[in-house]
Structure 1
């Protein structure tokens, strides 16, 4: 962003009210916030008084669970309001302070309630079942208590758990060291931009350079970035090795057969889901090879390199989408979801769920958030382009998921799991894309949308699955007693790129170092959820378009379910069984259809 553009950004008070979110729906004023802040501290003090008493009676257990929900719900509201006020303008000292206080309160309440799960675990399973039978109010917490009982074989003695908790801060060291190295200490050289001017390479600018039409710029940025990582490869390898060893240590201590199984067990997901994803993507590598070949042809290159993956292949298409127009298009695109969904969506637009435009000090990017008992909120920095229209549809998916979950579930089950978090958002994007492809008459625009869709598949299904496979491999290496040296990591990563991109791609040696810059490798088998969530969403969107109301009804039931059941079970009721390869295969069938359409359209030109 140029200095001139920075200066031209409006101040917060210069933005029209209709484009600002309505945080007064959470708290009418800051005094009301202060009132609840004090109330939450009082409730936290009450909660502490029950420590050591949960085994006394089913009534005491129920009272504590209700009290814990009450204080957690209140703290959620306090935290969301303060943080979103800060996000409006991060230079506002008043809301910096409120956000800091809310964070401290959250830590205080977590500490006050930390005895609850260990004390429930100390109650015998038979006694706990008896309590549920005797006290009808506990039946609401059946799923919550079942989950605690399910995890019991992997919970250690009280003293051992205390010891592990004390080790927790030390265990964060690999992630913290990587973060400091990757975000603070690493410095990249300058390169010459398209105008021949020296510009310092940063991680933020890297993607912009990768999208450049000037191949020399792309190559220089690629080389500069990965040579810099290469200079630190021994440190990055040692950090990643330590992080994997930490995961393996915790898995062994908690009596799991592997780090992968331990990680998946948090969501009660079987390893079959993970393995099916990788195996199904492997079976469909020919489609990625076709796309790589098409990209190479459209870019008119003799050789396609890794630095040619992000530059647009459909040139000179500029689609202007003002915000009000984006609202209209999104509503039309989401019509297959039915009247109730659209009515609530329209209410969201009219009730100021959304903070639309950029202003000085506003948090960048986009998100959907909110507190139980209030409507959801969306932060945007809308720029009148196609990407931001899709971002609007995406965030509305999250918000509608939260809206339906909060409206239909008690607080304890109102928050959906990360495993299903991207389903509703990606499904909205898929329906919007289907609408645009059906209604767009301009061939270049249609090619642009088709390529946009293909890139989503490449980045979210193929690339994230490659990451997931790499994670599985490095953990298996450590579990079998091997050390993750830079040479071994480079070799494994090179072979994976060869496998995933195929014979038409020149896999440059420098890409072997990409493992060194991926923060998700410190998030313990997280990336596969992007690919499974995307696949589930595409599969469900196809069912909605083909079946109509029965599929819509199943989907809305899923949105209303929160975390009242395990995520794989909820998706199965909606119509996708992630324990089988079918949803991933159906998604990749759509990838094939998009490829076919694009190749056919190009043949007509």
Structure 2
């Protein structure tokens, strides 16, 4: 029998750890570089007030890159070492030291943007024409200049920065209230034991095979939110007021414009996503009908939405077997991609297994001069294989971006960030469904992909529609109360899920538990990212001409242009409904497979 005792960090084999020691051969070397950084970084202050011509600007940008790359390496190393074992005081101390220093470091170049914006109109553009040395920085500089109408005077910017903590208060209040202060009482679990319900364990109860457990968890959780609905409505309204205040102060026409314009994302992308989903809402209604039939329910309620339609025995997948499955699934991406993938697996990119004190979850991270490292907590489950291809998708995106782009353009925007990881997941699950011969297991996989589309695309667009309604109401001078929020949420649930489900009144207050509403106009990017990934996966699987080359071109682009342009160049035009329609097409295809087996 496998030992359940967690291994200590030193007991994990070297082959299963990431090669962070390639960043610095020892902690002493890290300390030496840290001291050098402290001596060199203040040199950046010399340029303040001197950026009056292109030659000096080139000097600044070159020195800033050199010092920033050093700072990034120091920062990445300390954080990765700390995540290996969060109980190790040495690495905690190194991490805290560099974190504190980075705040000071940011002040050394804080003058750059205000100074560039204070230059006469057209000056930077003329300097770029005059000097070849400035041409590589053209996108970076014109992007800064583009913000000129929305940047305030030095004093006003300082005032806004000082007020930022107050403007973030609604989010902090919501966070502390829902995670620390609110208590949800006890419910009986599947074995009849009394257990405390929390936000953390709610997701497992709502998927319970025992309907009474699901119902109790649902009614209890939302009942407690209902008790605080007026307070939570006030925090949400305050947050929306803060976003609208910032947008107005920065001379944007709306909070939506303030959120999208800096990335040059047309407002239509947001509004068309809502329209496309509304035009195809019947697909989600059909899903509800099929699920109701598969669950054998006379009446389907909101608390039945998350329960899996099929249960399978947990499969034990060794890491090497998971890699094999991943390579098979990613085969359509071609030889070059697979070589990089295998190189990453064998070349110390991945920290594979859980150990005592290791940070939970999974991520892909690194710097311009390091490997694109992957932290996993591999637990021999099919989901872990999916996590592996997801994080390697991010890492290979970073690998290509850093290889092909200069330092200033190697990072990519949030709008593009989830595309590469989700494309990998889509290719993997497509492969697993197609090759599965066991009917039960095939149904399980189909249901998994359907649920992913339901929660990542349909649900997030419903959130986006609610968010647009709340902001537009405020812009029209219509303050909203808990009653207004509840009514709109109920109406949206009825519209999205259709007539085959009973929209229980408890769900009306669900808006109150969504933390993303405190990060304005963020959620729609889950859906657009998924849609772009679906479009890429479809073109690759359909073997469309140059599909793989176009996709690799996207991975190589980093942040060298605006996200919409990068995707468009790769054949995915997010200003049209096509990518979302491709996702819905896949959703319908999966429903056809599911219905065939009823």
TM-score bracket relative to the smaller structure: over 0.9
Greater mean deviation of Cα atoms: 580-589 or 154-163: 154-163
Aligned to 2:199: 203
**CA deviations over 1:407-453 (Å, ceiling 9, x no partner):** 11111000000001010000001111121122111111111111111
1:334 correspondence with 2:315: no
| Inter-partner Cα distance in structure 2 for 1:493 and 1:40 | 52
1:46 correspondence with 2:43: yes
Q: After TM superposition, which residue ranges in structure 1, 4 or more long, deviate above 4 angstroms? A: none
Aligned to 1:80: 76
Q: Secondary structure at the match of 2:263?
A: coil
Aligned to 1:118: 114
Structure 2 residue corresponding to 1:25, chosen from 22, 33, 36: 22
Q: 2:534–2:583: 8 Å Cα contact kept in structure 1?
A: yes
Q: 1:317–1:444: 8 Å Cα contact kept in structure 2?
A: no
| Inter-partner Cα distance in structure 2 for 1:204 and 1:95 | 29
| Aligned residue runs from structure 1 range 336-415, under 5 A | 336-415=332-411
| Aligned residue runs from structure 1 range 117-516, under 5 A | 117-516=113-512
| Inter-partner Cα distance in structure 1 for 2:24 and 2:30 | 6
CA root-mean-square deviation: 1.4
Q: Secondary structure at the match of 1:478?
A: helix
Give the TM-score taking structure 1 as reference length. 0.97
Structure 1 residue 182: Cα displacement: 1.9
Aligned to 1:537: 533
| Inter-partner Cα distance in structure 1 for 2:510 and 2:357 | 32
Q: Secondary structure at the match of 2:374?
A: strand
Q: 1:277–1:465: 8 Å Cα contact kept in structure 2?
A: yes
| Inter-partner Cα distance in structure 2 for 1:467 and 1:67 | 44
Q: 1:191–1:200: 8 Å Cα contact kept in structure 2?
A: yes
| Aligned residue runs from structure 1 range 511-530, under 5 A | 511-530=507-526
Q: Give the aligned length.
A: 597
Q: 2:312–2:441: 8 Å Cα contact kept in structure 1?
A: no
| Inter-partner Cα distance in structure 2 for 1:486 and 1:148 | 40
Greater mean deviation of Cα atoms: 133-142 or 391-400: 133-142
**CA deviations over 1:336-394 (Å, ceiling 9, x no partner):** 11111110110101012111111111111111111111111111111111111111111
1:11 correspondence with 2:35: no
Q: 1:174–1:239: 8 Å Cα contact kept in structure 2?
A: yes
**CA deviations over 1:457-482 (Å, ceiling 9, x no partner):** 00100000011111111111111112
Q: 1:43–1:67: 8 Å Cα contact kept in structure 2?
A: no
**CA deviations over 1:71-99 (Å, ceiling 9, x no partner):** 22222211111111111111111111111
Q: 1:277–1:581: 8 Å Cα contact kept in structure 2?
A: yes
| Inter-partner Cα distance in structure 1 for 2:517 and 2:36 | 40
Structure 1 residue corresponding to 2:32, chosen from 35, 46, 71: 35
**CA deviations over 1:182-216 (Å, ceiling 9, x no partner):** 22222221111111111111211111111211111
Greater mean deviation of Cα atoms: 429-438 or 309-318: 309-318
| Inter-partner Cα distance in structure 2 for 1:28 and 1:549 | 46
Structure 1 residue 134: Cα displacement: 2.8
| Inter-partner Cα distance in structure 1 for 2:288 and 2:169 | 39
Aligned to 2:585: 589
Q: 1:317–1:445: 8 Å Cα contact kept in structure 2?
A: no
Q: 2:393–2:422: 8 Å Cα contact kept in structure 1?
A: yes
**CA deviations over 1:320-344 (Å, ceiling 9, x no partner):** 3221111001011111111111101
Structure 1 residue 6: Cα displacement: 11
Q: 2:312–2:444: 8 Å Cα contact kept in structure 1?
A: no
Structure 2 runs not aligned, ≥5 long: none
Q: Secondary structure at the match of 2:542?
A: helix
Q: Secondary structure at the match of 1:269?
A: coil
Greater mean deviation of Cα atoms: 74-83 or 492-501: 74-83
Q: 2:184–2:224: 8 Å Cα contact kept in structure 1?
A: yes
**CA deviations over 1:140-181 (Å, ceiling 9, x no partner):** 110001101211111222222222222212211111111211
Q: Secondary structure at the match of 1:378?
A: strand
Q: 1:535–1:583: 8 Å Cα contact kept in structure 2?
A: yes
Cα gap change, 1:231/1:7 in structure 2, threshold over 3 Å: closer, same or farther? farther
| Inter-partner Cα distance in structure 2 for 1:95 and 1:418 | 29
Structure 1 runs not aligned, ≥5 long: none
